[in-house]
Amino acid sequence: MTDTKKAEAKPSENKMGTMPVGKLLITMSLPMIASMMVQALYNVVDSIFVARVSKDALDAVGAAFPVQNILIGVGTGTAVGVNALLSKSLGQKEYDRANRIAENGIFLAFCASVAFLLFGLFGVDLYMQSCNVSDGVRTLGTDYLQIVCVCSFGVLFQVMFERLLQSTGRTLFTMFTQGIGAIINLILDPIFIFGYLGLPAMGVKGAAYATVIGQIVAAILAVVFNVFKNPDIRLKLSRFRPNVKIIGRIYAIGVPSILMVGIGSIMTYCMQRILSGMKDTAGMGYTVYNVYFKLQSFFFMPLFGMNNGVIPIVAYNYGARNRKRMMATLKLAMIMAFCFMAAGFTTMQVFPKELLSIFKPENCDLELFYDVGSTALRIICIHLPLAGFCIAIGSIFQALGRSIFSMTVSAARQLVVLIPAAFLLSLTGKVSSVWWAFPIAEVMSLAVSVSLFVYLYRKEIKHIPDGLPVK
C-alpha cells in the first residue's frame, strides 16, 4: 500500500462506539490509573528525598508548586480541548479534520514551551520574592523552579502526544510513557539530590533535573508511539500551517480547564500565605499543607486517570449521538470515583501519623509536625468523597465542550468560598481551624456541580437519541 493510499484509508469502527460500556471504561481507565499512580508515587518520593535535605528544601518545592501546577495545567488544558474535538471528529468519521486538530495541538504545545522558557529566565525570581518565605526557602525555590520552567518542553510535549493516543482509545501506550518517565525520575532523584555515583550533591536542583529528564524521555517515547502505533491520526507537520479556527475551538474547550488549574494555583498560593503567617505552630502549618498535597495525589491522581478515560468515551458517543452509552459511562464513573475517595478518607482518618512519617523533614520538630499534620489530615479528608462526585460530573462538562461549567464550579469552590473561609478561620489564631475551609467549600462545590448538570441534562443531553442498546 502506498503512503497516499495508507493516509486515505479510513480506520475501522472505533471501540468507543461498540465495546460494552463497563469493559470499555475499565480498558480505557486502568492504564491511565496505573500510570497516574506511578506519577503520584514519584511526586511523593520526590518530596521524601527533598525533605531529607532540609525542611527549607521541602518548603521551597512547595512554594514552587503553584507555578509548576500552572505549567502542567496549560499542557493538560490545551490537551483537553484537543482530546474532546479529536474524539468527536472520529465519532463523526471526519478523519481529515482529526488530523488537523492534532497538528494544531502540537503547535500550541510548542508555543507554551517558549512562554515558560521566558518565564523561567526572567520571571521566577520575582515570583519567589512574593511568596512570603525566608531567604533560604526563596533561594532554593528559585533554583528548582527555573530548571522546571526552562525545560518545560518535556512535559508539554509528553502531555500532548499522550492525549493523541488517548483520544483514539490507545491508553495502554500512555501507561508506558508515563510509567517510564516516572521510573527514570525515581532512579535519578537520589543520585542527583545526594550526589551518588561520583556526581556532586545538587539538593533541590537535583530533584528538578531528575523530573525534567524523566519528562523529556517520556515525550520522546510518546512521539514514537504516535508515529508507529496510531493509525487513526496521520500527522503531516512538514505541510502544517496554524489554523485560527481550530485553535479557537481548542481553546474554547481548553481555556476554562487551564483557568480551572490556574484557580487551583491561586488557591494554593493564598493558602500558603495565610498559613505562613500563623504563629501558633511556628510555621508548621505551611509545611503540613504542602505535605498534604503530596499525599492526596495518591487518591486524586487515579481519579483523574479515570476521568481521562471517561472524557473520550463520552465525547465519542456524543459525536455519534448515543445517549445511553454516555449516561452509562457517567454512572460507572461516579461509582468508581466514590470508591477512590472513600479509600482516601478512610486511610487519612485511620493512619494520619503513619502517612506523615513517610517524610520526616530534617531540622524539624517532628512531634509538632505529627501533631499539626494528624489534625490537618483528619479534617481535610472529610471533603474527599464529595470531591469524587464533583470530579466525575466535571468530566461530562469537558467531554461535551462545556468546560466553562467546570471552571465555574472550581472558581466558586476555591476563590469564592475556600480562601475567604480560610482567612476568616485564621483570625481565630489556630491553624486547626483553617483546615475546616476544605469541607465547607466542597459542600458548596457539590451543590453547584449538581445544579449545572441538571441544567445541561434538561437542555441538551435528554434530547440526544438513545442509540443502540448498551451492553
CA–CA distance, 283 with 410 (Å, rounded to integer): 28
pLDDT value, residue 9: 44
Under a CB-based contact definition with an 8 Å cutoff, are residues 21 and 329 in contact? Answer: yes
Classify the phi-psi angles of 362: left when phi > 0, otherwise alpha if psi is within -120 to 50, otherwise beta. Answer: beta
442 pLDDT band (50/70/90 cuts)? very high
pLDDT value, residue 14: 62
Under a CB-based contact definition with an 8 Å cutoff, are residues 128 and 188 in contact? Answer: no
Q: 77: closest CA among 415, 398, 411, 453?
A: 398
Q: Using the predicted structure, report yes or no on whether residue 321 has a pLDDT greater than 90.
A: no
Calculate mean pLDDT across residues 124-142. 92
Instruction: Tell me the per-residue pLDDT of 271-315, one tens digit each, with 9 for 90 and over.
Output: 999 998 787 776 789 999 999 988 888 888 888 888 878 888 888
CA–CA distance, 380 with 424 (Å, rounded to integer): 17
pLDDT value, residue 18: 65
Q: Which helix (H) or strand (E) holds 223?
A: helix 204-229
Under a CB-based contact definition with an 8 Å cutoff, are residues 286 and 309 in contact? Answer: no
Instruction: Tell me the per-residue pLDDT of 140-172, one tens digit each, with 9 for 90 and over.
Output: 999 999 999 999 999 999 999 998 988 887 878
pLDDT value, residue 74: 94
pLDDT value, residue 167: 81
Calculate mean pLDDT across residues 41-60. 86
Q: Using the predicted structure, report yes or no on whether residue 469 has a pLDDT greater than 60.
A: no
> Higher model confidence: residue 243 or residue 283?
243
Report residue 177 as a C-alpha cell: 510513557
> Higher model confidence: residue 121 or residue 5?
121
CA–CA distance, 6 with 228 (Å, rounded to integer): 13
Q: 71: closest CA among 174, 157, 173, 192?
A: 157
| Local structure of residue 18 (DSSP, 8 states) | T
Under a CB-based contact definition with an 8 Å cutoff, are residues 32 and 76 in contact? Answer: no
Q: Using the predicted structure, report yes or no on whether residue 467 has a pLDDT greater than 60.
A: no
CA–CA distance, 362 with 149 (Å, rounded to integer): 27
User: Residue 102: how many CB atoms within 10 A of its CB?
Assistant: 29
How does the average pLDDT of the chain come out, rounded?
87
pLDDT value, residue 96: 85
Calculate mean pLDDT across residues 326-343. 88
Q: Using the predicted structure, report yes or no on whether residue 8 has a pLDDT greater than 50.
A: no
- Rg of the Cα atoms in the chain: 22
DSSP string for residues in 120-160: HHHTHHHHHHTT---HHHHHHHHHHHHHHHHTTHHHHHHHH
Instruction: Tell me the per-residue pLDDT of 164-220, one tens digit each, with 9 for 90 and over.
Output: 988 887 878 887 898 888 889 989 999 999 999 999 999 999 999 999 999 999 999
Question: Degrees (nearest 5) of the Cα angle 445, 447, 450?
Answer: 105
Calculate mean pLDDT across residues 446-467. 86
Report residue 40 as a C-alpha cell: 503520584
Could you tell me the pTM of the whole model? Answer: 0.81
Calculate mean pLDDT across residues 449-459. 91
Question: Degrees (nearest 5) of the Cα angle 32, 319, 303?
Answer: 25
Instruction: Tell me the per-residue pLDDT of 94-116, one tens digit each, with 9 for 90 and over.
Output: 888 888 999 999 999 999 999 99
Q: Which amino acid is at 232?
A: D
Q: What is the largest CA-CA distance in the chain?
A: 74
pLDDT value, residue 356: 92
